[in-house]
Every structure is written in structure tokens, then in C-alpha cells.
Amino acid sequence: MKLTHVFNLAIICILALASVEAYSSNNAVKANIETTKPKIIALAPHIVEMLFDIGAGEQIIATTEYADYPLAAQKIPRIGSSMRIQLERVIELQPDVIIAWESGSPSDDLARLKQLGFKIVYSQPDSFAEVAQELRLFGKLSGHSEQAERVANKFLIDLAEIKKQYGQKKPLTGFYEVWSRPLTTIAQDSWPQQFLEICSIKNPFETAKTSYPQVNIEQVLQHSIDIIIQPLSKKQQGGDEYNWKQWSILPAVKHQQYIILDADIVHRMTTRSLVALNDLCQQAEKSRAYYHQNSSTH
């Protein structure tokens, strides 16, 4: 009997020791993951912004010019621009992963870095849905999957809300002015086109052959433009926008229906783009109300 007790006691002790060992080793693994979060080089402003969104901002050891949001991003060392990367600095910093912008980062430098053995992951969010996908991808890469999942889900919920609110509104015809000299607009496959679709704004140049076609004012005058959308960067000085005043034949000019957007937000593929989307939809809605009121008074 005693022998059985001793035997049971021994087994309990062994199991307890094993579980303590397993617990501590499990903790050690967790601690190891925590302490060895991968060092990241982010080669575009939108990548930096998304990494900060998911809580991986501190893991960014270098970036390129124009990564200015959030404020903490401005302190990250710069190792080049969209034109050229300083390969020596990358080698010196020894990142665990380099996240590059597929169409915007210098492809020859990336090919060289890949050849030198660095891990390169590409980012190319061309739609809102892809922003959410990339948030999740960056979460996996940086060890912040849970937070990334939360941010991506919230982003998609907010997007669905805006779509629901403005997607079925009466269409307005809008001209999106990317640049004034030469006068350039957007078409299908361009990033801002989805903004117009969600806000029920018809783009007369949607089917143009290039994503950002240059257009002649004569072509614009062929359409009854209800609103003119002018995204302007904070760095752009006043007067950069096209001078529409002389074309009062256009309803938008006649009724002063201009929508000014923050180009630094609307043209950057991040979660902040929903702020710009909401802003555009709200301003378009005001124009709709204006035209509705105007037509009912006549």
C-alpha cells in the first residue's frame, strides 16, 4: 500500500516537474519571440504607416524619403529614395526583412539585395481590400498578427459602412484633377477611381487607355461636370490648381462646386485613406443637396 502511495507520489512529482518545465520553456519561447521581433526596412511611406498602425513601428530600422507619418516615422534613418537605395547602408543594418513597394521601389537595387541574400517582401495595394490583406501580411512578418487582424477588420467594417451610406446615391459627374500643368486626370485601374465609385461620382474619363491620362480642356468641356475634385498636398503652394474660372459653362464652375482633398492622405494606400474617402463622400453629398435644392427652387 505504502509502496503504491510512494509510486503515485513519484509520478505526481514527475508530472508536476514536467509541467513546470514545459511552462517555463513555453514562456522562454514566448519571451524569445517577444525579444527577437524582426528588424524591418520599409521602402515606402505607406509601408511605414501601415507598420505603425499594427504596432510594429519600433521594428523599422530604416526607410526612404517622404515617410513622414506618424510623427515618430520622421525619426527613422533614411537610406535612399524611390529612385535609389544605399546598398551599403542596408548591408550594414542587416535587416531580417525588407518590405518594398513593387511599382515604386528601384527594382535593380532590390534585385541586387536579393542576390546578396536579403529577404524581400513586396507591397502593392491597388485597392482598399488589398490594404486590409497587406495589414495582415505585415502582421505575420512583424510578429503582430493579432493587432494586424484587429486593424484590418476595423478597416473593412468602416469601409463597408461608408459604401452602405454613399454607394446608392444619385450619381454626380466629377472631374478629378491630379495635376494642373498638364491637365491630368484619373481612369480605371488608378488608385483614386475607387473613391469616386464608392461616393457615386461618375468619372467621364474612366475608360481612357492610361491610368492617369492627360486631357485637353476641350475634352473636359464636352461633359457636364457637376463637381471638380482637387487633391492638394500641404507642400503645394496656392495657385497650383487649374484655373477653372473662365469655364463657367461647366456646372461645377458656375456653382462653385470644388472639392479640395488632402493629397498626402488620399493618394497614400493606408488606413487613413478612409478619412479621405469619407471626406470626399460627405462633400459630394453636400453638392448633391445643393443641386437638388437649386433644381427644386427653379
Partner 1 sequence: MNANLGNILRSVSAIKSKNSWVFSGLIIFTFLSIIMSITFGPANITGDDILQCVMYECMSPIHDMVIWQIRIPRVLVGLVAGMGLACAGAILQNVTRNPLADPYLFGIISGAGLGATIATFAFNDQQSLALPLAAFLGALFSVVIVFGIATLLRNMNHLLLTGVAVSFMLGSISHFILYLGDPFATNRVIFWLMGSLARVEMFHFYLIGAIVLITLLTIFALHRQIDALLLGDESAASLGVNIDKLRLILLALCAAVTATIVAYCGGIGFVGLMIPHIVRQLVGVTTMPLIIGSALVGGCFLVWVDVAARSAFSNVEIPIGIITSAIGSIFFLAIMYRTRKTG
- Under the rule (CB under 8 A), what is the footprint of partner 1? 65, 77-84, 86-89, 91-92, 94, 103-104, 106-109, 111-112, 116, 209-212, 214
Task: Supply the minimum distance, in Å, between the C-beta of residue 214 and partner 1.
Answer: 8
> Considering only CA atoms, which of 133, 158, 190 is closest in space to residue 274?
158
- Between 53 and 109, name the residue whose CB sits nearer to partner 1: 109
- Between 8 and 94, name the residue whose CB sits nearer to partner 1: 94
Grid cell 521581433 is found at 37
Task: Supply the minimum distance, in Å, between the C-beta of residue 219 and partner 1.
Answer: 16
- Between 70 and 77, name the residue whose CB sits nearer to partner 1: 77
Long-range contacts of 158-166 (CB under 8 A, 24+ apart): 158/274, 159/128, 159/274, 159/277, 162/198, 162/274, 162/277, 162/278, 162/281, 163/198, 165/281, 166/198, 166/199, 166/200, 166/281, 166/284, 166/285
Task: Supply the minimum distance, in Å, between the C-beta of residue 209 and partner 1.
Answer: 6
- Between 86 and 194, name the residue whose CB sits nearer to partner 1: 86
Task: Supply the minimum distance, in Å, between the C-beta of residue 211 and partner 1.
Answer: 7
Query: Are 169 and 200 contacting, i.e. CB atoms less than 8 angstroms apart?
Result: yes
Task: Supply the minimum distance, in Å, between the C-beta of residue 240 and partner 1.
Answer: 18
Task: Supply the minimum distance, in Å, between the C-beta of residue 184 and partner 1.
Answer: 9
The whole-angstrom separation of Cα 107 and Cα 52 is 25
- Between 166 and 191, name the residue whose CB sits nearer to partner 1: 191
- Between 109 and 134, name the residue whose CB sits nearer to partner 1: 109
Query: Are 268 and 66 contacting, i.e. CB atoms less than 8 angstroms apart?
Result: no
Task: Supply the minimum distance, in Å, between the C-beta of residue 77 and partner 1.
Answer: 7
- Between 87 and 121, name the residue whose CB sits nearer to partner 1: 87
